[in-house]
């Protein structure tokens, strides 16, 4: 994927960064924050590319750009949550600060891309704070964060804050069209765009055609959940719950329910709506509950779907 496509939808951020760099007023720490899956890490890579590029354009062809793409640029260091670990630890932060304090090998700056910044533990955050208070000459820290408020205010206040917003559906559709390949059907592409909600990185699992097909059938099953065939629901869950990302299952399950929750009614209708709200809330919690409490995904999902189905039927009978 080209740099231009990698940051589709974030051109304004790139322009702001490039202008600050050209004017010699580039802050030593940029904090890119926003929802998961909108391309913040790719944007950080592009900004690093602008700095190491011989033409300051992330051309993708010069020696600096080629080394960056290969992950071997001596002036660029990457830090992220290690798979299987709960947080970014103090050893990782100390190593990146030591790297930033070194002299550059190729250009004018040492660059660190810190992904999953909100996952730093307290010790790591305190170590980073000292580095932010006394930045090494020529150092540049590009931090990527999905939950800004999990970072201490002391760190946020010492960074150039840059919000990255969800992408327009047209942009998402273009990105997903490339990611999903030439054999993606219009129906699958529409489904992926709908599920992405401006964050194409959240639906990468749809590159698996079995997952895409399963979600299409699930959407059809739950579109009118109150009338859905219980046996077909049970069969789908038994066959696909271990394959399909749970958050996408719930997204399609609840999409037709939200308009019902926004409707008003009389006292009888209010009681039914409150029951529906509780059932929907339990469904929304299900993905996290499965992980947190080690629940059996299939039986618990089926139980929640049955409760939601009953609540929808109750709402219909109450005249809502």
- The tens digit of pLDDT for each residue in 225-239 reads 999 999 999 999 999
pLDDT at 147 over 50: yes
**How far apart, in whole angstroms, are the C-alpha atoms of residue 294 and residue 85?**
18
Q: What is the pLDDT of residue 134?
A: 92
Helices 11-22 and 40-52 pack at an angle, to 10 degrees, of: 30
Which superfamily does CATH assign the domain made up of 3-163 to?
Answer: P-loop containing nucleotide triphosphate hydrolases (3.40.50.300)
**How far apart, in whole angstroms, are the C-alpha atoms of residue 30 and residue 140?**
8
For residue 320, what pLDDT band results from cuts at 50, 70 and 90? very low
Q: What is the pLDDT of residue 319?
A: 58
Q: What is the mean pLDDT of the chain?
A: 92
Closest C-alpha to 17, from 6, 7, 9, 25:
25
DSSP classification of residue 79: E
**CB–CB of 129/154 below 8 Å?**
yes
DSSP classification of residue 59: -
pLDDT digits 0-9 by tens, 157-202: 999 999 999 999 999 999 999 988 888 899 999 999 999 999 999 9
pLDDT digits 0-9 by tens, 95-143: 999 999 998 777 789 999 999 999 999 999 999 999 999 999 999 999 9
In sequence order, what E strands does the chain have? 29-33, 76-79, 110-114, 139-145, 160-163
Q: What is the pLDDT of residue 269?
A: 63
What percentage of residues in the chain have a pLDDT greater than 90? 84
Closest C-alpha to 43, from 173, 201, 154:
201
Lowest model confidence (mean pLDDT) among 4-13, 39-48, 88-97, 170-179: 4-13
| Range list of H helices, 53-168 | 63-70, 90-100, 122-133, 153-156
- Residue of 318 and 29 predicted with greater confidence: 29
**Tokens representing 71?**
């992950």
Q: What is the pLDDT of residue 260?
A: 82
Closest C-alpha to 76, from 96, 56, 60:
96
Segment 273-289 shows an average pLDDT of 94
**How far apart, in whole angstroms, are the C-alpha atoms of residue 213 and residue 205?**
11
Provide the residue ranges of all domains of the chain, joining segments of one domain with +: 3-163, 208-317
**How far apart, in whole angstroms, are the C-alpha atoms of residue 226 and residue 286?**
20
pLDDT at 1 over 70: no
């Amino acid at each position: 994927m080209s740099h231009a496509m990698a940051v589709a939808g974030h051109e304004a951020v790139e322009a702001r960064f490039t202008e600050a760099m050209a004017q010699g007023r580039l802050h030593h720490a940029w904090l890119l924050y926003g929802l998961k899956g909108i391309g913040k890490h790719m944007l950080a890579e592009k900004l690093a590319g602008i700095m190491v590029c011989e033409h300051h354009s992330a051309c993708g062809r010069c020696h600096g750009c080629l080394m960056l793409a290969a992950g071997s640029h001596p002036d660029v260091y990457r830090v992220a949550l290690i798979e299987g670990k709960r947080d970014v630890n103090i050893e990782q932060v100390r190593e990146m600060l030591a790297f930033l304090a070194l002299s550059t090998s190729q250009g004018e700056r040492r660059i660190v891309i810190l992904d999953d910044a909100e996952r730093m533990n307290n010790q790591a955050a305190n170590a980073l704070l000292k580095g932010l208070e006394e930045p090494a000459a020529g150092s540049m820290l590009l931090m990527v964060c999905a939950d800004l408020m999990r970072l201490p205010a002391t760190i946020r206040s010492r960074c150039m804050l840059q919000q990255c917003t969800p992408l327009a559906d047209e942009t998402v559709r273009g990105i997903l069209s490339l990611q999903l390949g030439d054999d993606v059907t219009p129906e699958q592409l529409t489904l992926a765009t709908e599920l992405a909600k401006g964050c194409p990185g959240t639906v990468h699992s749809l590159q698996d055609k079995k997952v895409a097909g399963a979600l299409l059938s699930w959407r059809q099953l739950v579109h009118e959940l109150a009338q859905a065939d219980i046996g077909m629901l049970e069969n789908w869950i038994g066959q696909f719950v271990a394959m399909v990302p749970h958050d996408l299952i719930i997204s399609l399950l609840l999409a037709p329910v939200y308009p019902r929750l926004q409707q008003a009614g009389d006292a009888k209708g209010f009681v039914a709506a409150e029951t529906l709200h509780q059932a929907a809330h339990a469904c929304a919690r299900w993905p996290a509950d499965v992980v947190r409490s080690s629940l059996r995904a299939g039986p618990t999902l089926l139980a929640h779907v049955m409760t939601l189905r009953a609540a929808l039927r109750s709402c219909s009978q109450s005249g809502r």
